[in-house]
Structure formats: structure tokens, C-alpha cells
Amino acid sequence: MSKKENIVHAAIQMFREKGIDKTTVSDIVKNAGIAQGTFYLYFSSKLALMPAIAEVMVEKTMDIVKDTVQEDAPFQEKLEQLVGAIFLVAREYNEIQALIYAGLASTEHLKEWETVYAPFYQWISALLIEAEQAKVVRDTINIERTSKLLIGLVESAAEQVYLYDVTDETEVNRQKEEVLLFLLHALGVKQ
């Protein structure tokens, strides 16, 4: 693992433990096993970490999504798997998700948000295009916009249950079902 990755991962860990504000650069470097000054060879400041962290988070998300959604499953099942995957990520990283977003928001790096999310948007777009061509969704969908709406919807649904340390599996499942139902109608999924 490169020193830069080292820093990013150490930072993610500390942020999860203490939150962004409470985490000091000193915490990060201790955790990464490097010297204080070394941090600044790779990042100009603590906030400059955010885009790199966001990128890693999106990578993690996509890894899980790709692992979970089966290529050859029917579209409806794929959607269900997708919702499951996003909930999985949210459960694991809900604390950090909001923080990164806020971290980006409180810097000049906000514009990078779209860039960072782009691969995820594209992946969902591909999914929708396939469904459209298979005529299993309504044909009035604007692919690009809808892929973003979909992610926004499911992520906010996941946050709603996980942000409050909900551990009640039943509650989580009901939320998943409801958002899936909502989604199926929204996309006009046939059968």
C-alpha cells in the first residue's frame, strides 16, 4: 500500500472513530505510522483529504454493488439486490457518508463530488439502459437523471434507518421493501 493510500485509510478509520472535527492530523499520522510532515507531502491540508476519501468510499460502494447484483438476474431482482447493497454500505459507513459530504461541502472541493460519483451513476445508467431495451421499464425514463434520482432515493432511505443506529433487522427490511416498492412503481417495472 502506497503511503498516500496509507494516509487515506488511516483517516477513514479515525473519522469513523472520532468524527471529522475531532480527528486531528496528528491522529491520522499516528494511525498511519508516518511523521507529521509526511502528511503534507501528499495532502495540502486535512480538508484536502476529502475528495480522496470520497473516492475510496465510492469504490467500496461499487465493489459491494457489483458483487451483490447478479448479471443474469431479472431486472426486478437486480433492483432488489441493488437496494440491499446500498443499505449494506450505508450500515457500514453511515457515519462517514454524511461527514464526507459535509467535508466536501465546507471546502472548495464540492465540485469534485459529481466527478467522484460519476462511475456509480454510469453503472446505474447502464442498468437502466439494459432494462429499457428489454422493455421491462416504462419508456419515458430519462436515463441520466433517473439514475441519480434512484441513488438519491435509496441512499436517503438507507440513511433514514441507519443514522439512528437502528439495529432492528425487521425495521430495516420493511424500509427496504417500501423503497423497493416505491422504486418499482417509479420505474414502471413490468411484472
Partner DNA sequence: TATGAATGAGCCTTCATTCAT
Partner DNA sequence: GATGAATGAAGGCTCATTCAT
Residues that bind DNA (CB under 7 A): 3, 22, 24-26, 34-41, 45-46
Using CB under 8 A, pick the residue from 33, 111, 118, 129 that binds its own copies: 111
Residues in contact with its own copies, shown as a per-residue x/- string from 39 to 58 under the rule CB under 8 A: --------------------
Other C-beta atoms lying within 10 Å of the C-beta of residue 64: 16
The site for its own copies, by CB under 8 A, has a size of: 43
Least distance between its own copies and beta carbon 98 (Å): 4
Q: Which does 39 bind (CB under 5 to 8 A by kind): DNA, its own copies, none?
A: DNA
Q: How far is the CB of 75 from its own copies (least distance, A)?
A: 15
Indicate if the alpha-carbon torsion angle 138, 139, 140, 146 is positive or negative.
Answer: positive
Nearer to DNA, 37 or 133 (CB): 37
Which distant-in-sequence residues (6+ apart) come within 8 Å of 159 by Cβ? 90, 94, 97, 98
Q: Which long-range contacts (CB under 8 A, 24 or more apart) does 109-115 make?
A: 109/47, 109/48, 109/50, 109/51, 112/51, 112/54, 113/54
Which one-letter DSSP state was computed for residue 164? T
Q: Tell me how far apart the alpha carbons of residues 126 and 65 are, in angstroms, rounded to a whole number.
A: 13
The helix (H) or strand (E) run that includes residue 67 is helix 49-68
Residue at 161: amino acid letter: V
- Among candidate residues 84, 14, 97, the one with its CA nearest the CA of residue 57: 97
Nearer to its own copies, 26 or 70 (CB): 26
DSSP letter (8 states) at residue 33 = T
Give which of DNA, its own copies, none residue 31 binds (C-beta under 5 to 8 Å, depending on kind): none
How near is the Cβ of 79 to DNA at its closest, in Å?
A: 41
Asked whether the beta carbons of 153 and 183 are under 8 A apart, the reply is: yes
Residue 169 CB, nearest approach to its own copies (Å): 16
153 forms part of the interface with its own copies (CB under 8 A): yes
Interface residue list for its own copies (CB under 8 A): 19-22, 95, 98-99, 101-103, 105-106, 110-111, 113-114, 138, 140, 142, 145-146, 148-149, 152-153, 155-157, 159-160, 163-164, 174-175, 178-179, 181-183, 185-188
